[in-house]
Amino acid sequence: MSFRSVRSTDPLTEASRRPRGVDVYLFPAVVGGGLGDIEEVLAGGRRLARAGFSLLLYRARGRPLPREVDGPWDWPPHRRVERLNPTGGAALTLSPAFGVSAAPSRPEPFGRGGPWEEEAAEVEALYGTHRTLHVSLEEFARTLSSIEETRERFREGGIRSRAIPQHLRQARDGREVETYRAAFERFRAFDRPNLVNVFATFGPDRRFAREFPAAVQTGPLWSGLRPSRDRTGPRSTHREWVWYASPSSAERIAPAVWETLARERSTVHLFVRSPRPWESAGTRPGVTVATDPMSPASWRGRFRRAELRIVTGSRTLLEAIEVGGPFLYFNGVLGAGARSRRHRPEKIRALLASGPGRSLAPDVRRDLADFARGRRVAAVVRRAARRTGGWARFRVSRERLGFRPPLDDAGAFLVALGWALGRPGADAVEIVRRVRAGSNP
């Protein structure tokens, strides 16, 4: 999908005009197993706040916030309210996977409503369907067709690659693929006329667009981190790597990482941030494992200063690209030995297949792919630490995404939606119809 007009929102526009008439409601929640869903909503909120929109966190009196939302997050400027008191004539809500986190309950299997269903319904009832625009931030880089999703489910379930074609034929014949497609559409709430489903990724997938025309693909939703100072080689003093080690299987490859770093001529300290204790770390010199919550400022400062970052999921991957410099990616592995396989590899796979990924040297691309599989860990760490080959000029371009403005930047697209909703006589249903058809909001 591509827009047929030029960018409607740029930094000068955002700084020089203050939007009026639109109240923005943040509905952060954990949808999958990680906390990136919350950060994604807050990143979108920060972009809208910079454009001048007023943000609200509305939670009805007596209803606690969804789990983890009250943590030490980098919140954008907002007001927390317990009752609705509109200051504008239109509302924009921002949630992760609206069909799971904010859709109403349905009398059917798996039909329980999301943690924000009451607030979303109250907002729409107050402002009206045609003056309420819901924006759903879907899982990053998960733009697979139904058949690709079925193949991926078989792969991750442990079926050998040579047996997958037979299983796919059986899935087609048994209408399993069609069942998945119908469920995907239902749980993404594509039938809702005032909902924009934003599928951010590194490049448009035409097969996904043809199968799900209600989905709006965009470039990444960046966090707004400033680039770190450029480093052309390893530092001679106080070298530090940081590792956001969310997957439990990260501990399986950890010894190869820290043992390789310990053998470097200039020792590299490894700072690991993990949601769980690491039994294997013990009191190993040169390794710090932090399991307690960290303030956003403390973590981001450490993240920016690091010589190299080992990241996971989508948010830390995007942040590593933003701050610049070398990084490695590990989102976990399942199984062992010959049956070992990557867990949810679509993020790194999408990066390496995109224009930004192709800006990397071939040897670095191979190292990234192997490390994500848990292979050649020591060799890759050694090459990265010594800046061997392409690691000496590691740089991921944020250009060449294949989207036209404002779709090339999910944050710019959110701002464009807000401005469109704030126009006199704007209709949220009509805005959704236009963007789904490929037009500017």
Q: Are 53 and 61 in contact (CB under 8 A)?
A: no
How far is 81 from 191, CA to CA, in rounded Å? Answer: 30
For 345-373, the pLDDT digits (tens) are 999 999 999 999 999 999 999 999 999 99
Q: Are residues 253 and 122 in the same domain?
A: no
Q: Are residues 123 and 197 in the same domain?
A: yes
How far is 305 from 293, CA to CA, in rounded Å? Answer: 19
Q: Are residues 353 and 429 in the same domain?
A: no
Classify residue 230: in a domain, yes or no.
Answer: no
**Which residue intervals of 338-397 are DSSP H helices?**
346-353, 355-358, 362-372, 377-385
Q: What is the pLDDT of residue 337?
A: 75
Q: The domain spanning residue 381 has which CATH number?
A: 3.40.50
Q: Which residues of 56-80 are buried (b: 16+ CB within 10 A; e: fewer)?
A: bbbbeeeeeebeebeeebbbbebee
Q: Which residues of 403-441 are buried (b: 16+ CB within 10 A; e: fewer)?
A: bbbbbbbbbbbbbbbbbbbbeeebbbbebbeebbeeebb
Q: What is the pLDDT of residue 386?
A: 96
Classify residue 178: in a domain, yes or no.
Answer: no
Q: Is 344 left (phi over 0), alpha (psi -120 to 50) or beta?
A: left
Total domain count, the chain? 2
Classify residue 177: in a domain, yes or no.
Answer: no
Classify residue 120: in a domain, yes or no.
Answer: yes
Q: Are residues 30 and 50 in the same domain?
A: yes
Q: Are residues 193 and 103 in the same domain?
A: yes
C-alpha of 125 from chain center: 30
347, two tokens = 């993020």
Classify residue 54: in a domain, yes or no.
Answer: yes
Whose tokens are 């007596």? That residue is 62
Q: Characterize the bridge pairing of strands 341-342 and 333-334.
A: antiparallel
- Among 310, 318, 322, smallest CA distance to 367 is for 310
Q: Are 308 and 327 in contact (CB under 8 A)?
A: yes
C-alpha of 157 from chain center: 23
Q: Are residues 389 and 409 in the same domain?
A: no
SS3 of 358, please? helix
Burial class (CB in 10 A: 0-12, 13-18, 19+), 106: exposed
Domain residues for the domain of 55 are 11-138+188-222+402-436
Q: What is the pLDDT of residue 3?
A: 34
Q: Are residues 217 and 83 in the same domain?
A: yes
Peptide bond into 406 cis (omega under 30): yes
Classify residue 273: in a domain, yes or no.
Answer: yes
Classify residue 101: in a domain, yes or no.
Answer: yes
* Binned average pLDDT, 10 residues per bin, the chain of 441 residues: 36 53 97 87 97 96 93 93 95 97 90 94 98 98 96 91 92 93 96 98 96 97 84 64 94 94 92 88 83 91 96 96 96 84 93 94 97 97 97 91 94 97 96 95 92
Q: Are residues 366 and 422 in the same domain?
A: no
Q: Are 400 and 356 in contact (CB under 8 A)?
A: yes
Q: What is the pLDDT of residue 111?
A: 84
How far is 268 from 326, CA to CA, in rounded Å? Answer: 15
Q: What is the pLDDT of residue 230?
A: 53
How far is 331 from 245, CA to CA, in rounded Å? Answer: 8
Give residues with Cβ within 8 angstroms of 294, minimum separation 6: 72, 273
Q: Are residues 296 and 414 in the same domain?
A: no
Q: Are residues 333 and 280 in the same domain?
A: yes
Q: Are residues 319 and 415 in the same domain?
A: no
Give residues with Cβ within 8 angstroms of 349, minimum separation 6: 141
Classify residue 166: in a domain, yes or no.
Answer: no
Q: Are residues 380 and 299 in the same domain?
A: yes
381, two tokens = 């760490």
The pTM (predicted TM-score) of the whole model is 0.92
288, two tokens = 């710090």
